[in-house]
Chain A
Amino acid sequence: MKIVPRKLWILATAGLALAAAAGCRAPQTAGMEAGGTISATPEGDTQMTKFVVINNQKLARGLQVVDARHTFANDILHASITIVAKGSRDLQFQYKFAWFNANGMEVEADRYPWTPVVVHGFESKTLQAVAPNPSVREFRLKIRPL
């Protein structure tokens, strides 16, 4: 019987272990969050405090949040966030909106779907959604890799 070289065995074992690790590893789900908190001004208008949180540098290198806007249609908040692709290739990701009332309590939690979206090279895209009811005063857009 021909003896298989030791190096080959080690290589094969390492390869198997690597395949096992790669096959069973949980996918990358960290992403970005952008949103705004709407408050009333003394003049009777509304103003928005905007924020962006980045938890995934790789995603943030390919995608930039450039604007957040809001309007009210019949007391119901209509939120819109503009993103721009920073590369020349198609970028696939998913997003979802979450809604909070004036006390910071989440409204209709987990009722909104993760929505897949494609942004073409250097394209800007507006992601919009309408709040579930008139109590919403804060929105958060969550973005993560598909």
Chain B
Amino acid sequence: MNVNALAAPLAAGALLALATGCQSTVQYGDPTAVQSLSYTFSSTDLQMYAASMVDSLLTFPPIVEETKSRRPVILVSTIKNKTTQHIDMEALTDTVRTKLLRSGKFRFIDRTTDDAAIQEVRTQLESGLVDPATAVRFGQQIGAEYLLTGNFAQITQEAGRTKDVYYKLTMNLKNLRTGILEWSDEKEIRKIREKPVVNW
């Protein structure tokens, strides 16, 4: 029997298996899984920063004391992006706020929807459509007691085939009446990329 006659279909079959087995597919992944495709800001980073900041704020002794019998009102200002990357800082800010809100220890004010709220109150008061007994009046909202702010910084070092990226998120809770910083914390993440000797 000719050896080549047997080997060629066998090799073709193996190639076909390789091609069909590894063809490009789309599937749902775990949104909480560690994602480290590159050194840039990732979904894992966002979740780690948010979890770390919320854990720290919820266990800081003076804040524990403050939230024992009441739920203070906080205004969150979007975290400032001081890195060289374009990052949606509102997404990070929203995650921190959502986690804090769901702890049941704080209440929040959202200034981003004020335009729509003013429009609605004005409609209730002026359009004549709404029963005046149930209409919301201006000047009844609760003022924020605390302001939550943050800075996000990056330090990058590169030498040869190694790139070292250091990220730092700092968050502060300021008492609006006294101006005192009631809480502050930092979370650091370091990512190191080693390029292989042979790269294509």
* 10 residue pairs from A and B, CB less than 8 Å apart: A3-B3, A10-B10, A12-B11, A16-B14, A74-B58, A74-B64, A74-B67, A130-B54, A130-B58, A132-B102
Q: Is the CB of A94 within 8 A of B34?
A: yes
Stretch at the interface among A19-27, A32-40, A45-53, A54-62: A19-27
Q: Which residue of B lies closest to A7 (CB)?
A: B3
Inter-chain CA distance A23–B32, complex, in Å, is 24
Q: Is the CB of A116 within 8 A of B36?
A: yes
Inter-chain CA distance A20–B104, complex, in Å, is 51
Q: How large is the interface on A (under 10, 10 to 19, 20 to 34, 35 or more residues)?
A: 35 or more
Instruction: Find chain A residues with CB under 8 A from B99 CB.
Output: 111, 132
Interface of chain B, main secondary structure: helix
Inter-chain CA distance A58–B31, complex, in Å, is 26
Q: How large is the interface on B (under 10, 10 to 19, 20 to 34, 35 or more residues)?
A: 35 or more
- Which residue numbers of A lie inside 8 Å of B, CB to CB? 3-6, 9-10, 12-13, 16-17, 19-20, 23-24, 73-74, 76, 78, 94, 96, 108, 110-116, 128-130, 132-134, 146
Q: Mark B10-31, 1 if CB is under 8 A from A, else 0.
A: 1100110110011000000011
Instruction: Find chain B residues with CB under 8 A from A112 CB.
Output: 32, 47, 51
Instruction: Find chain A residues with CB under 8 A from B10 CB.
Output: 9-10, 13
Q: Is the CB of A114 within 8 A of B18?
A: no
Near A by CB (< 8 A), chain B positions 34-58 give 34, 36, 43-44, 47-48, 51, 54-55, 58
